[in-house]
Chains A and B, each alone.
Chain A
């Protein structure tokens, strides 16, 4: 178990090193391009040179990398190039946005997992029933729906036509780690549509997977044994089949994290919620490369950490993995 965990964590750290190298490499080879983007097309060669010098972009490659990595370990992601936040540290610019996105993603994961496990299980148990076929159709539809079209549709239907929920989230007033939760508690109605969008987008793949997983489990030998020894159907399902069927979905959940963050980016943009996604779009428009790179790095850290958590969770729940270290 410990050896397995150790290997997994080492792997995660390796990936993060790789990503940090990428977020360093691209801006450093593109220094001139960035300077042009920030200073505008009419800047003279002298101004360009000064810009490169002041941002350390004219130093030798390895020295730049050394400084970058030392900075990273001190939590220093560089300084912003956006005129409105010029020379503020990236962390200062980014940090208020992080909890908003994280809570959005975490809560929607909770809902979509619960819902898709229930739907998928009933589909698997009542295979080829009307319920199964209708759900397969809807799930396929949801699965194909692009995130931005879905959030647009929810706004058009539930907000502009039916006036049930507001079409946007009020801009947050506090920056604490738990303040997004406080805001949700205070005015839940404005979070219904964005959370529903993210949840529904996650349901598609998970339900499909859960249905297959329960189908596969119900024909296993140990389920037949349990039936043969006279367990009640409920006991067979919940004691013997359920846990084995649900476990693989945790891996799928971990693998779908990048997509969820992508979906959050679009949802935030649509509902005008200042999270990491919206900041990324703003900074991309302003060509604020350090902030975009910092955000990319942070989102990737969250993804890798999520995958790691999923693997650890499975290892704890499944003795086969705990003992052999194999998946």
Chain B
């Protein structure tokens, strides 16, 4: 499927699954932190999934490549005047993956663009996670008409196709690195909030929450010490998909010519300029970055799937 509702659909699927389980007679919920055996077992399920482990290794590899790579592989990525004489070179000695339309070395460019793609994706995902969790948990915990109102807002925002929403916000605010982070972060949390709201509703009336109330504990304590720790597994799944979603969204924007402005760059922008040059035979400007990015997206999908399996174990444990 396409960006970005595939992540949404994925989340919905998780949500449906969850809700079914919550209808089961609730056994012991327990404190998440104390239960180390469960974490070990969940990790075992994850490790058992060979493809997921490979995917995780690939993601770690890409992160190292982008952030540690430049320490060992030096290349000019900012001085356009110095690179004037190396425009569109094919792979050769000195330029293992060739050069792009501005004469920058592609291998170094992959790292340079990857840094900003990963940074932006990570920060945007964190923003959307924090906002989504806060909004969803509060909405579910408080309930009543406020919950109804807040959820109608989510309905409205989810019915706007994601890319159109992104472009609408960019047309208003323009784009710089900071604005892109905020835009991606603040338009990506609607599905997460809905998911977390379901969790909060399921947890707020459980025995341990009632016990806190009976002992005179406030709502703040219930949310902070009891509801949030119990949603850690959901949050981790949500975070994985949020990260993948925001990197994918950023790359799509770059491909549409709306990525990070020069002199910085991102993978999407690289793909866009590369594809313009493909017709004159510069295949090296397209294939490496596409392969790297495609594998990254597939890896994220596998990791997300494996995480879902992992948390099914937790649900079985209950």
Contacts and interface: CB of A to CB of B under 8 A. Distances in A.
Interface of A: 14-15, 18-19, 22-23, 26-27, 30, 33-34, 37, 140-149, 152-153, 156, 160, 201-202, 204-205, 252, 255-263, 265-266, 269, 277, 280-281, 283-285, 287-289, 292-293, 295-296, 299-300, 303-304, 307
Nearest to A297: B160
Contact of A281 (B2, B3, B162, B257): B257
B81 interface: no
Contacts of B171: 283-284, 287-289, 292
Given A14-B152, A300-B159, A303-B161, A152 B271 contact: yes
B203 interface: no
A129 to B, nearest CB: 21
Contact of A18 (B153, B248, B275): B153
A262 B164 contact: yes
Nearest to A159: B279
Contacts of A202: 1-2
A152 B168 CA distance: 24
B223 interface: no
Given A201-B2, A259-B2, A285 B258 contact: yes
B279 A147 contact: no
Nearest to B297: A144
B221 to A, nearest CB: 34
A262 B160 CA distance: 10
A15 B155 contact: yes
B308 to A, nearest CB: 13
Contact of A262 (B5, B157, B257, B294): B5
Nearest to A30: B172
Given A146-B3, A201-B1, A287-B174, A262 B162 contact: yes
Interface in B146-181: 152-153, 155-165, 167-174
A156 B166 CA distance: 28
A287 B3 CA distance: 23
Contacts of B278: 156, 160
B149 to A, nearest CB: 11
Interface in B254-296: 255-258, 268, 271, 275, 278-279, 286, 290, 293-294
Contact of A296 (B4, B12, B164, B258): B164
A259 B1 contact: yes
A256 B168 contact: no
B199 to A, nearest CB: 21
A160 B287 CA distance: 14
29 contacts: A15-B155, A15-B156, A19-B156, A26-B169, A27-B172, A143-B6, A145-B294, A146-B248, A146-B293, A148-B271, A152-B275, A156-B278, A201-B1, A255-B12, A256-B5, A256-B9, A258-B5, A258-B160, A259-B161, A262-B2, A262-B164, A263-B2, A266-B3, A280-B164, A281-B167, A284-B167, A289-B171, A296-B160, A303-B161
Contacts, number: 170
Of the candidates A141, A149, A283, A304, the one having the most CB atoms from chain B within 10 angstroms of its own CB is A149
B251 A146 contact: yes
Contacts of A148: 251-252, 255-256, 268, 271
B75 interface: no
B298 interface: yes
Given A140-B301, A287-B171, A266 B2 contact: yes
Given A143-B6, A281-B257, A289-B172, A262 B155 contact: no
A30 B173 contact: yes
Contacts of A288: 171
Contacts of A295: 164
A146 B301 contact: no
A265 B163 CA distance: 8
Nearest to A147: B2
Nearest to B153: A18
Given A146-B251, A303-B159, A304-B159, A262 B170 contact: no
Contacts of A146: 2-3, 248, 251-252, 293-294, 297
Contacts of A292: 167-168, 171
Given A259-B2, A303-B159, A18 B152 contact: yes
B298 A141 contact: yes
A295 B3 CA distance: 18
Given A33-B172, A259-B1, A266-B163, A285 B294 contact: no
Nearest to B169: A26
Given A145-B294, A152-B271, A258 B286 contact: no
Given A142-B1, A289-B172, 12 more contacts: A15-B152, A147-B252, A152-B286, A152-B290, A204-B6, A256-B1, A258-B159, A259-B2, A266-B255, A284-B171, A284-B258, A300-B159
Interface in B79-122: none
A34 B172 contact: yes
**Nearest 7 A/B pairs, CB to CB:** A18-B156, A259-B5, A263-B2, A258-B161, A262-B163, A147-B2, A292-B171
